[in-house]
Amino acid sequence: METLYFARNVTSAIPVAEARGVLCMALAEQGLSIKEYAPKVIKQAVIGRGAADKAQVQDMVRIILGLNAVPKPDHAADALAAAVCCAHRVLLG
């Protein structure tokens, strides 16, 4: 899961935090652990540097996962990038 970060769109902070809370609670009720990564760490894992833009991350997710198109909506690509980051961390220790 990506850590919360709101630089531009502060109005989405409450709904995102609420959804995140529900997800954390559901995972905890199932005894599942949560892994959190900063946006910079996710970009580093997917692109190789922490200063990548959204389009670069989306395209690299497409390449890494062998997809025909960039995942839509943007949040889907973000979630897949976080999953790729987590997989890299688990596999590399």
pLDDT digits (tens, 9 = 90+) for 9-52: 667 777 878 888 898 899 999 999 888 898 899 999 999 988 88
When divided into structural domains, the chain yields a total of: 2
pTM, whole model, 2 decimals? 0.77
Indicate whether 70 and 90 sit together in one domain.
yes
Are 42 and 30 members of one domain?
Answer: no
Decide: 41 and 81 in contact? Cβ < 8 Å.
Answer: no
Pair 50, 92 in one domain: yes
Residues 16, 78: Cα–Cα separation, whole Å: 14
| Shared domain check, 87 and 47 | yes
The reply to whether 29 and 55 lie within a common domain is: no
- Residue 5: is its pLDDT beyond 70? no
Give the C-alpha separation, 62 to 72, whole Å: 11
pLDDT of res. 35: 86
